[in-house]
Structure formats: structure tokens, C-alpha cells
Amino acid sequence: MTKNSARTLHLFIAFIVVVLDRWTKHMAAQRIALYAHIQIIPGFFRLTHTENTGAAFSLFADSPAPWKTAMLIGFSVVALIVVSILLWTDNHPHSVTGVGLSLIMGGALGNLWDRLTSGRVVDFLLFYVKRHQWPVFNLADSAIVLGAGLLVLEILFRKTHASDDGVAPDRRQD
């Protein structure tokens, strides 16, 4: 796979994440009243329409600070620039890293879209067990977490190849 075809694939993955995120958020907002829910798996999973004005897991959601939304938008833009640079300069176009970064890019764009258009992010997926629940999230959040997980796995389990930098790995036993 050439660098250009890999870049096209990475942009396509990010595009698909944004399209699916926009569609699922639209469906949730249109079909589920704000703060209402639809039980999917009793005692474990339901669709719940909420709108998050804060960051991930509703951090800063209760803050009245006027700069909150601008800060979150700025952080998203910086993250997108960093991810874009990492994808553009990736020397191994066919890698888990590229897919992970593409998922992060798509998720960040999906949530940024919401913040720019309404100042809040639509969340609708709620997993819970009895009274314990995970914060409500959306498809963009899932893509970001999955992408970050792929990056962690790549870092933890990457095998050093002699052809990567032209130098054979040091195999001495001290």
C-alpha cells in the first residue's frame, strides 16, 4: 500500500466515523425526547438522549465559565492538527497506528461539529448495572476510545523489525 492510498483509506475511515456519528446523533435527538430513554437490554443498556456541554464524561458541564465552549473547541482543533500531522508523516502506511489515528480524527470531528453548531454534544448510549452506570456517550466517543486503545496496543506489542531503520536490533544478553 502506498502512502497516498493509505492516506485515502485513513481519511475514508475518519469520514465514515463522522457520517455514522452524525446519523446516530440525529436519530437519537429526533426519536428520543431529551432525558427520556429506551430500554434495550434491561439491567444493562439503554438509549438515553442527553446533551453534554462539557468535555468527556461531562467534565466541566456544570461550569458557568464563558470560555468553556471556546476552550473545548480549541482543544479539539489542536488535537485534530496533531492527529493530522501524525497521519501525514506516518512512515508505515499499513499499520494499526494509522487506523487508530483515523478513528480518533473521525470522533474528534464528530464531536467538534456538535460543539460548533450548538455548543453541546448529543450523547445517547448508556451502559449500567443496577445503580452503577457509565457516563452517557456517543459513537464519536467510542471511535476515540477505540482509536486510543489501538494506539496503546500498537505501542505495547509492536515488534521491532530490522528493516524499519536499517539497523538490526541489539540482541545482547547482559
The single residue of 62, 90, 114, 123 carrying the catalytic annotation is: 123
In the chain, the number of structural domains is: 1
* pLDDT attached to residue 157: 87
* pLDDT attached to residue 150: 95
The residues pairing with 51 across neighbouring beta strands, listed in sequence order, are 122
What is the mean pLDDT of the segment spanning 123-128?
96
The single residue of 141, 165, 170, 174 carrying the catalytic annotation is: 141
Q: Do the domain assignments include residue 59?
A: yes
114 is catalytic: no
* pLDDT attached to residue 172: 47
More confident residue, 68 or 5: 5
Please indicate, yes or no, whether the overall pTM of this predicted structure exceeds 0.85: no
Q: Do the domain assignments include residue 166?
A: no
Q: Assess whether pLDDT exceeds 90 at residue 113.
A: yes
36: cell is 427520556
More confident residue, 147 or 172: 147
Q: Assess whether pLDDT exceeds 60 at residue 15.
A: yes
More confident residue, 158 or 162: 158
Q: Do the domain assignments include residue 23?
A: yes
Q: Do the domain assignments include residue 62?
A: yes
Domain residues for 97? 3-158
- CA Rg value for the chain: 19
CA–CA gap between residue 10 and residue 5 (Å, rounded): 9
Q: Do the domain assignments include residue 35?
A: yes
CA distance to 66, 71, 124, 172, per residue, from 60 (Å): 11, 11, 19, 51
Q: Do the domain assignments include residue 55?
A: yes
Strand boundaries in the chain, DSSP class E = 37-41, 45-52, 121-129, 132-133
* pLDDT attached to residue 62: 62
* 159-164: Cβ within 8 A, 24+ apart: 164/92
What is the mean pLDDT of the segment spanning 112-117?
94
CA–CA gap between residue 124 and residue 128 (Å, rounded): 13
Query: For residues 83 and 101, is the Cβ–Cβ distance under 8 A?
Result: yes
123 is catalytic: yes
12: cell is 475514508
Q: Do the domain assignments include residue 168?
A: no
CA–CA gap between residue 91 and residue 6 (Å, rounded): 10
Eight-state DSSP code of residue 133: E
Q: Do the domain assignments include residue 165?
A: no
More confident residue, 88 or 45: 45
